Amino acid sequence: MDKVKISEIENSNEKTLHLDINEYIDELKADVNASLDITPLGEFVSVKGEISGNIKLTCDLCLKEYDYEFDFDIDEMYAKNSVYDEDKQEVEIKDGQFVIDLYGSDEIDIYDLLYQSVILELPNKKVCGINCKEDYFQKDDSFKVPDERMEIFKTIKIEK
């Protein structure tokens, strides 16, 4: 289950393709489940659904590997041809809708969609657990401001 042909969906009776996917993404060490509806809409192709699963992440603090679970909705829009092409007539796109160019391709790479979507959902700070976090911040709280030049550090807020 890697690629989906848009023209085949357009020619089908349903005009939309429902996919239930379970895919292991090697590069991410992630086990991904997805339930997607792929619907061609003229110049665009809508991909909506839910992605869940788990991934092995490396803790930023102790560098140990840990399991991280994710579960999120996606609502993506693909443009069959570049939306930046000046010759194309302008099409209104929902506010903040991220449009992925297919550059004339008839295929959507589902594996790549899952890969990119999961990466976007990962936390900026990767922490294996509450205990690891607490140890880290206790150490940090004991930090004393030694002189004026260090005053700036008092104003730094650490995201917990």
**Contact status, residue 51 vs residue 117, Cβ threshold 8 Å:** yes
60: contact with Zn ion by CB under 5 A: no
Please tell me the distance from the alpha carbon of residue 82 to that of residue 99, in angstroms, as a whole number: 9
Question: H helices within 2-78, ranges in order?
Answer: 6-10
Among 62, 74, 83, 99, binds Zn ion (CB under 5 A): 62
61: contact with Zn ion by CB under 5 A: yes
Please tell me the distance from the alpha carbon of residue 160 to that of residue 158, in angstroms, as a whole number: 6
28: contact with Zn ion by CB under 5 A: no
132: contact with Zn ion by CB under 5 A: yes
83: contact with Zn ion by CB under 5 A: no
The alpha carbon of residue 104 and the mean position of all alpha carbons in its chain are separated, in whole angstroms, by 24
- Shortest Å distance, C-beta 116 to Zn ion: 26
Binding site for Zn ion (CB under 5 A): 59, 61-62, 128, 132
